[in-house]
Structure 1
Amino acid sequence: MIEIKLPFWLSGEQLTRLTRAARRYWERVEHWLRWPLRQIDAETCALGVLDLLAWQRNITRFTGEPEHLYRLRVKYAYANAVDAGSVAGVKRIFQRLGVGYLEVEERTPGRDWDVITLRVTDGQLAQNAKLLSIIIGKYGRTCRRYQFEVITPLTAGVALTEFNNTWTTDVATL
């Protein structure tokens, strides 16, 4: 904040009151002037301004979408549009939006050439079904079909035991 210094001939209680009032006034003016700057950030702006930013960035809020996810989609709209179309870009989009691990496989042998397989866990598919379809519809490749495959992680245990045996090597020559 601005350091306010008043003329030296005013001293004592009057000077401190006047300084305090001037400081409060200019802090309020600074707050008013910084308000538009705070509204540009999609994570901190008011919800009405967020809707305007979303309209500007071609993002539509789907039914039941949590506010934090809506803010993330608006915030990363440009980066997601740049990353759309590549395998690494689709993975980055999923990470930015908090969906998690994703495997992308293109041109799988035995399937049509235009099918892209996305492998996600069953929890991801259950929690983000609407979001996944929106991501694919908005940032997926044109003239491609997308197919989800569910990965189910399993924990496996391996037991090691020792066993002894004898072995010999026999060599035959002509």
Structure 2
Amino acid sequence: MKAPQLPKINVPWWQDGATTSEALKEPHYLTKGVSAFWQRMRDWLAWPLAQLDPLTCSEPLLDLLAWDRDIQRFDGEPLSLYRKRVKFAAINAKDAGSVAGFKAIFERLGIGIVALKERERRDEWDVITIEVRDSAMAQNSRLMLELIRQYGRTCRRYRFQVSYPAVLGIRHGTFGHSFSLYVASNLPIHTLTANGQQMNHNKHVFVASMREQ
């Protein structure tokens, strides 16, 4: 719950101490003093409301909220990250049972999951592969292990797979061209010439046979 802001005090121009004179006069400082006083009163009254928000409460009360929401601060965890884990503890516990919800848990804490792969191999059906960027693995390794410990599925093994993105740039443009193909070959040429001549031909057939007497 957020407390409303104080309205701005607008003093008439003939009483603001600045419009009718070149130098600032007493009404101007009086207005500033009254505004500062009521702003401090507003902060005092809104302090209990701020303690209900893990992002703005004091550290002793933050530890109490973390204990109530089953959050343990690991060694070296920044305070800002610790506050986020306490704030999103309830919604994270609700989303832990699905693939989309598990990705949302990481995204709420600033870690982007590229892919979440299940049952890739038949002999290792209980292995879940989490594919992340190399920078996320290097900067948030301790946090990722803590999230798996707290929100991981029962009887499942988790394995990280690091991907290295490569950016490829291709420039494009218009171009034109003309194409011509010429083929030359050296083939031998054979010429057959026939001259007509008269031919004479005589044919004789002789037959001989033997008879018995």
Is the partner of 2:142 in helix, strand or coil? helix
Task: Measure, in 2, the Cα distance between the counterparts of 1:84 and 1:72.
Answer: 16
Query: What per-residue deviation string (whole Å, max 9, x for no partner) do you get for residues 23-58 of structure 1?
Result: x5x876664443221100011111111111111111
Identity across matched positions, percent: 51
Contact 1:120 1:148 in 2 (8 A): yes
Task: Measure, in 1, the Cα distance between the counterparts of 2:107 and 2:145.
Answer: 16
1:11 corresponds in structure 2 to none
Establish whether residue 106 from structure 1 lines up as the match of residue 80 from structure 2.
no
- Structure 1: gaps of 5 or more residues: 2-16, 165-174
TM-score (norm 1): 0.72
Contact 2:131 2:160 in 1 (8 A): yes
Moved more, 130-139 or 31-40: 31-40
Contact 2:119 2:126 in 1 (8 A): yes
Could you tell me which of 142, 145, 153 is aligned with 1:133? Answer: 145
2:73 corresponds in structure 1 to 61
1:35 corresponds in structure 2 to 47
Matches within 5 A, 1:139-150: 139-150=151-162
2:128 corresponds in structure 1 to 116
Greater gyration radius: 2
**Aligned residue-pair number:** 145
Looking at both structures, which has the greater relative contact order when contacts are Cα pairs under 8 Å and sequence separation is at least 6? 1
Contact 2:54 2:87 in 1 (8 A): yes
Is the partner of 1:40 in helix, strand or coil? coil
2:112 maps to amino acid? G
TM-score (norm 2): 0.60
Moved more, 47-56 or 30-39: 30-39
Shift of 1:111: 4.7
1:156 corresponds in structure 2 to 168
Task: Measure, in 1, the Cα distance between the counterparts of 2:129 and 2:60.
Answer: 38
How large is the Cα RMSD of the aligned pairs?
3.0
Establish whether residue 45 from structure 1 lines up as the match of residue 48 from structure 2.
no
Query: What per-residue deviation string (whole Å, max 9, x for no partner) do you get for residues 76-111 of structure 1?
Result: 000000000210001100110011233101111355
Task: Measure, in 2, the Cα distance between the counterparts of 1:144 and 1:162.
Answer: 60
Is the partner of 1:43 in helix, strand or coil? coil
Moved more, 148-157 or 82-91: 148-157
With over 3 angstroms needed to count, the CA separation of the structure-2 counterparts of 1:162 and 1:129, relative to structure 1, is farther
Instruction: Determine which structure has the larger helix proportion and give its number.
Output: 1
Task: Measure, in 1, the Cα distance between the counterparts of 2:119 and 2:127.
Answer: 7
